[in-house]
Amino acid sequence: MFESAELGHEIDKATYRQQEAELREALLAAQLALKQRSEFPVIIVLAGMPSAGKGEIANLLTEWMDPRHISTLAFDASNDEEAARPPFWRFWRALPPKGNIGIVFGSWYADPLWHWNRKDSVQVERRIERIVRLEKLLTDDGALVLKFWLHLSKDRLKKRLKQLAADPRTAWRVTKDDKRVLKEYDGHSAHYQYLLTHTNQADSAWRVVEGWDANYRALSVGRQVLEAIQHHLARESVRQRRIEAAPLQPSIDGVRLLDTLKLGHALTKDAHKAKLELLQGRLNGLVRDPRFAKHAVVAVFEGMDAAGKGGAIRRVTAALDARQYRVVPIAAPSDEERAQPYLWRFWRHVPARGRLVIFDRSWYGRVLVERVEGFAAQAEWLRAYTEINDFEAQLDDAGVIVVKFWLAVSKDEQLARFKEREVVEWKRFKITDEDWRNREKWDDYIAAGSDMIERTSTPFAPWHLIGANNKYHARIQVLEALCDAIESRFQQKTSGKQKD
């Protein structure tokens, strides 16, 4: 795949001058259109051989375009906020918002590129899978992902490093790693080709550009960026263009998972109190256990309105030190969140090791309320199942314990609770017209919830279905499941765990 990029392409100065002027103007116009539409971001990934001009290309692109809406994201070693979270957290937090261009250095490819001599390792294979999924998520969401590989043949790399080393002003740019790549050029080249091949996707294909001649590489990258943006802008609709998720299986017998749960349980307030205190003590001990410092907890609470999520959450937090946890209530997204892929607003709350984050409603809104109310297009919520599973797998890989609760109440019980809320002074704020409207769509929510559980209950992040007509019973169940999840994770051999 590097053949054409070893031919020694060159563009003379006069041709370059003339073409550059046109290109700049066109790029600026395309960037403006991109900003005015603000429907998708452009993510430009730069990778390649050492000294092949990645930095120069980034500088040129920002110089050609309006620097206010293009930014360069350079990822070096993880800082400590990043190191305490799943590896991709730092990429998520840096994503350019819709309408903007982000040039990414040391991107999600940096790690596997450097593990060139472990190309058959599980690490590299899993990282490739993660990359493919991340880029698919981004492009499915409408992002334009452009990946450039700046190439140098072995001879030209040798010549370039020699040139740089000879000049005292540039000698510092030649690193040990660069020399190693040259020394073991064929091995590296084979590994790079392997990586590029396996991360090629229809919507995020690699574009190999020879990096030898500055004029050639500048025009080549610049034109491809221009054409790609123009082409992407010309598409009719980003959101609806394709459904790439397996459709749901039609129900044959009409039996739905969430209709089959046992909802009522006998447990009195007094009987539950002793159990509750015991469990809270257990939970408190678990999160103060030294082993917890290597983990974190993400707890998700879903369920019909008035199912008792808030009450259950308070029984959990009562067992915790206020410095250790955060409760994140999910309502309408902010405008900064709307300018990003759907999962961005959850990624930003992923806890550091040693912490707990409790979501009162969550990313599952995509396949519940957004599906039922039509806020998300079918293509969007159908692929959300996969995206969510992948998100949770990444949490799990990083040691985060994911515990998901569906609190189930019967329709009658909900009605009783709604009515109580309308009567009791300090509960009145909890009941709104929207709750009554949602209730009318009870069946749709049962269907959506049943599909959700079937498609997102995974070994690493199972759903806990909790009959909650008796709220005392439900709270005990929640605490027990949470404690069990943490305890069983402590007992897993972490050595066998994939670090990604």
Q: Smallest gap, in angstroms, from Cβ of residue 445 to a second copy?
A: 22
The CA R_g of the chain, rounded to the nearest whole Å, is 27
Q: Which residues contact 134 (CB under 8 A, 6 or more apart)?
A: 88, 91, 108
Q: Which residues contact 53 (CB under 8 A, 6 or more apart)?
A: 150, 211, 214, 217
Q: Smallest gap, in angstroms, from Cβ of residue 222 to a second copy?
A: 14
Supply the angle between the helices 122-140 and 378-397 in degrees, to the nearest 10: 150
Q: Smallest gap, in angstroms, from Cβ of residue 152 to a second copy?
A: 21
Name which position in 2, 6, 39, 69 contacts a second copy (CB under 8 A). 69
Residue closer to a second copy by CB (options 32, 122) is 32
Does residue 25 belong to the site contacting a second copy (CB under 8 A)?
yes
The C-alpha atoms of residue 467 and residue 292 are separated, in whole angstroms, by 29
Backbone angles phi, psi at 72, to 5 degrees: -105, 130
Half-sphere exposure of 353 (CA within 13 A, CB side): 18
Number of residues binding to a second copy, judged by CB under 8 A: 43
Of 291-299, 326-334, 373-381, 432-440: span binding a second copy (CB under 8 A)? 326-334
Does residue 314 belong to the site contacting a second copy (CB under 8 A)?
yes
Backbone angles phi, psi at 142, to 5 degrees: 110, -10
Q: Smallest gap, in angstroms, from Cβ of residue 362 to a second copy?
A: 13
Name which position in 1, 20, 28, 435 contacts a second copy (CB under 8 A). 28
Residue closer to a second copy by CB (options 55, 467) is 55
Of 70-78, 130-138, 450-458, 473-481: span binding a second copy (CB under 8 A)? 70-78
Q: Smallest gap, in angstroms, from Cβ of residue 407 to a second copy?
A: 16
Of 240-248, 331-339, 435-443, 473-481: span binding a second copy (CB under 8 A)? 331-339
Does residue 103 belong to the site contacting a second copy (CB under 8 A)?
yes
Name which position in 32, 205, 271, 415 contacts a second copy (CB under 8 A). 32
Does residue 323 belong to the site contacting a second copy (CB under 8 A)?
yes
Residue closer to a second copy by CB (options 184, 360) is 360
Name which position in 12, 22, 81, 422 contacts a second copy (CB under 8 A). 81
Count of C-beta atoms within a 10 Å radius of residue 496? 6
Residue closer to a second copy by CB (options 4, 59) is 59
The C-alpha atoms of residue 272 and residue 474 are separated, in whole angstroms, by 10
The CA-based angle 288-328-299, given to 5 degrees, is 50
Of 330-338, 384-392, 393-401, 450-458: span binding a second copy (CB under 8 A)? 330-338
Residue closer to a second copy by CB (options 329, 374) is 329
Q: Which residues contact 336 (CB under 8 A, 6 or more apart)?
A: 97
Of 55-63, 150-158, 226-234, 411-419: span binding a second copy (CB under 8 A)? 55-63
Q: Smallest gap, in angstroms, from Cβ of residue 404 to a second copy?
A: 18
Of 22-30, 144-152, 376-384, 448-456: span binding a second copy (CB under 8 A)? 22-30
Does residue 38 belong to the site contacting a second copy (CB under 8 A)?
no
Which amino acid belongs to residue 209? V
Considering only CA atoms, which of 74, 69, 139 is closest in space to residue 101? 69
Cβ contact 109:204 at 8 Å: no
Does residue 71 belong to the site contacting a second copy (CB under 8 A)?
yes
The CA-based angle 425-329-422, given to 5 degrees, is 20
Cα dihedral sign for 72, 26, 11, 169? Answer: negative
Does residue 36 belong to the site contacting a second copy (CB under 8 A)?
yes
Q: Smallest gap, in angstroms, from Cβ of residue 46 to a second copy?
A: 10
Map residue 413 onto helix, strand or coil: helix
Residue closer to a second copy by CB (options 170, 240) is 170
Q: Which of residues 417-436 bind a second copy (CB under 8 A)?
A: 426, 429
Q: Is residue 467 classed exposed, middle or buried when 0-12, 13-18 and 19+ CB atoms within 10 A define those classes?
A: middle
Of 125-133, 179-187, 308-316, 388-396: span binding a second copy (CB under 8 A)? 308-316
Q: Smallest gap, in angstroms, from Cβ of residue 286 to a second copy?
A: 15
Q: Smallest gap, in angstroms, from Cβ of residue 315 to a second copy?
A: 10
Does residue 168 belong to the site contacting a second copy (CB under 8 A)?
no
Cβ contact 112:60 at 8 Å: no
What pairs with residue 74 in β-bridges? Answer: 105
Does residue 313 belong to the site contacting a second copy (CB under 8 A)?
yes
Residue closer to a second copy by CB (options 280, 450) is 280
Does residue 317 belong to the site contacting a second copy (CB under 8 A)?
yes
Which of 474-486 are b and which e, b meaning 16 or more Cβ less than 10 Å from the residue's Cβ? bbbbbbbbbbebb
* Spatial strand order in the sheet of 325-329: 325-329, 356-360, 296-303, 400-408, 463-467
Q: Is residue 250 classed exposed, middle or buried when 0-12, 13-18 and 19+ CB atoms within 10 A define those classes?
A: exposed
Contacts to a second copy by CB under 8 A: 25, 28-29, 32, 36, 55, 58-59, 61-63, 66-69, 71-72, 74, 79-81, 103, 105, 310, 313-314, 317-318, 320-323, 326-329, 334-336, 358, 360, 426, 429
